[in-house]
Amino acid sequence: MHLLHILPGFETGGTQLRLCSILNRLPFEARHTIVALNGNFETAGRLDPGVTRQLVSPPARSGPLALRRLVRRLRPDLLLTYNWGAIEAVIGTFLLPPCPIVHCEGGVNADEAGRVKARRALTRRLVLNRIYQTVVVSRALERVALQHYGLRPDKVRFIRTGVDTERFRPGGSRELRRALGVPDGALVFGFTGRLVIEKSLEMLLDAFASLRIPEARLMLVGEGPCRADLERRAGQGVIFTGRVEDSAPYYAAMDIFVMSSVTEQTPNALLEAMACGLPAVCTDVGDTSQILGERAVAPGDSARYRDALLRVAGDAALRAALGARNRQRAVDLFSVSRMVEEYAGLWLEALGREPRPKGSGFGKK
């Protein structure tokens, strides 16, 4: 069984990490061809050695016709495209598709945060209603797909993102804190993700600086194009770790997880922090409030965001209670096994054929 995945890029991001998590656990035999349209395959190293994969550079010429020729040359059984950046692959193939097509909308770009671009909405309506199905990763995106893109309900599938609650679990990391120069007893706020404009990290830096908590630290785990500007803006107590291969020890070094984004859907980093038993102070974007089970702060409301940070920072008992509740919600509602089963089921459904199962016989009729 040959699955072709076309993405805008295969660098570290929520969509790419989600895909790696699925492919590493897929319960049937398949070979995967991954096309990164920007030529970046940074995240390929997160695929397990047992995943049969081929990494293919984008065609020399861009555009729907070039991607149509690429798909026909690769001859997949199922074409899987991801986000607006790969929509040209759908445009090139949807009229006379060589195989079933499943598109995944994992989020919106910063230029679409809070508003839908009419041209993009029309394009999605025209092409996505003609393919097998479109997956959305949040209820917020589901509403956008139905109300603004005009997709038919039978063409939209909501699949909640999952997290590995065995890999991400509570437990302190004093060694890493010492290695990062964090004083004993200091309160550590932590962010994990790409340093990009939609994360609104300037607001986070300003809010942290205004707290004036002695010896507190703000740890920004990740890399991105905004790093230089953020370093110039940062005051004392801010730690930039750069890109890390394994984020789990860094969650273990945090006391409070923080997120200040202006656009998200179902943030992987938030789920990982919750699985690690951390309290979280977040902005109300995408499904964040539903994930937490309480209303988050409106994006851009710097005063209330600062107040929320101060409230959690000043109450150790509250931090412990919120962390325990977050861990339980991650275990009960966001298991990675459920996510993988739902994606695998959809792909098999689209293929309409019996796979070669791994181990337990998943997919047998």
- pLDDT tens digits, one per residue of 233-258: 999 999 999 999 889 999 999 999 99
**For residues 31 and 2, is the Cβ–Cβ distance under 8 A?**
yes
Rounded to a whole number of angstroms, the distance between the first and last alpha carbons of the chain is: 17
CATH 3.40.50.2000 segments of the chain: 2-162+335-351, 174-333
* pLDDT digits 0-9 by tens, 119-174: 999 999 999 999 999 999 999 999 999 999 999 999 999 999 999 999 999 987 78
pLDDT, mean over the chain: 93
pLDDT in tens, 287-319: 999 999 999 999 999 999 999 999 999 999 999
Residues 6 or more apart whose CB falls under 8 angstroms from that of 106 comprise: 14, 15, 18, 82, 83, 137, 265
Contacts 24+ apart (CB under 8 A), 88-96: 88/62, 88/63, 88/64, 89/6, 89/64, 90/127, 90/128, 90/131, 91/64, 91/123, 91/127, 92/63, 92/64, 92/65, 92/66, 92/67, 92/68, 93/67, 93/68, 94/127, 94/130, 94/131, 95/130
Percent above pLDDT 70 for the chain:
95
- Chain segment 87-116, per-residue pLDDT in tens: 999 999 999 999 999 999 987 766 666 678
Question: For residue range 178-222, what is the model confidence (pLDDT) as tens digits?
Answer: 999 999 899 999 999 999 999 999 999 999 999 999 999 999 999
Are 253 and 189 in contact, with CB atoms under 8 Å apart? Answer: no
Cα separation, 180 vs 254, in Å, equals 12
User: 2-162+335-351, what's its fold?
Assistant: Rossmann fold (3.40.50)
> What percentage of residues in the chain have a pLDDT greater than 90?
87
Question: How far apart are the C-alpha atoms of 248 and 246, rounded to whole Å?
Answer: 6
At the second CATH level, the architecture of 174-333 is 3-Layer(aba) Sandwich (3.40)
Report pLDDT digits (tens) over 334-351.
Answer: 999 999 999 999 999 999
